[in-house]
Structure 1
Amino acid sequence: MQKYRCDYPDLCGQEEDDRRMPNLQFFRGQRASSPDGVYIEDFHNNWYGKYSKLEAVHSYIQWVFHLQERGMNYQAKELTKKEIEAFLEDETVKKKLVKSYKLMLDFYGIQMSNDTTGEVRCTNNWRDRFDNMDRHTHNNLRITRILKCLGTLGFPHYQAPLVRFFLEETLVKGKLYKVKESVLNYFIFAFRDQQQRRELVKYAYENYEAKHEFV
């Protein structure tokens, strides 16, 4: 998380293979993911609401939410600095990232209520989806990845509403017991803006029941 917040300083000066830009090609629909062979349009059109598939398949998340680090799918490529620059200038691929984000929110029982601010709320089937998150804790890693990707590829303003949502659901409403520790130890720290981190830590402390255990 520290390397992420510092924009991966250990990558500075490394040579990048910028000729193919595989991650950008994927979002532009010019190549499929590997090993699944899924194009981004297929993912959006055929995977939405397919909860069993989204849960069981573990190789798509590294293609849909790129980072400058390795994930569990070693056939996915790390995001490069040049790709980030190109991505931030391409409104079409940025819209596809938002569409992917909304698809995953639905998988978690969440929906975006404001596309401008990134505010989110529960969907009608949130109980079933929350139960899935409590039963399959690897989704905590996926959410951490999604938050970091949003911060890297032009949507840092979407991070705080989602983390605030999880803090409220876990600390205030007492839901998502198996997500709580990840919210406190990882989700909060997926912000490069120190002030945002401080505000969320303060909110978490104010709503943490056993304050003497908070640190």
Structure 2
Amino acid sequence: MTSSEAPAVALEVKITIVDSDVTADGKLPLVVQFTESGTLVELAGGATAACNGVQLSWNGLGYAARVPQVAAGGQYEVSHLREGVSTTVVVTAPPRPVITSPVAQELVPRSAALPISFVAAGAPRVRVLATAPNGMVRGEPQADSGLITLDARSLSAGAGTLTLTRELEGKLSGTGFHAATFAYSVDRQVPVVWQ
């Protein structure tokens, strides 16, 4: 890792957002990484980074903070401020996945290929996570096709959850940075009862 006083036009920026359906404080973790010629850099020369007015702090892996969640269609505006020049990049919050089956509080069998139906959105991939009184099971990434399966045989009977996470990524243009990319995970959680 190195320090950089380079202007935004010489930096690549990657924004990572983890947008959870269930949050105690209405905030989400956001990390911004600046690189110069592919090398992670810490901003120097008084340069700062913020998102929607929240100052981001350097943590050794990037600039991070918990920022207030915005609704689907809302924006996360990340700014780089150096010598009075502000350069911004905007990531729009996608809609949460819509799980159509099982529904909240449904009795769900602990089967080898439990089907979970949802409204497809064409994202690169989706994942499912199931919790039960005895722990959790993570499914492998699958296509965003409207149906995902999970081996739920190791879960115990009782109250639990199913969480479907949609993973999006892409390039952002017209930002004033050399290059800009984002990775955005957004989920929906449904309470279930395992049989």
TM-score by length of 1: 0.20
Larger relative contact order (Cα-Cα within 8 Å, sequence gap ≥ 6): 2
Give the structure with the higher percent strand. Answer: 2
Higher gyration radius (CA): 2
TM-score by length of 2: 0.21
Give the structure with the higher percent helix. Answer: 1
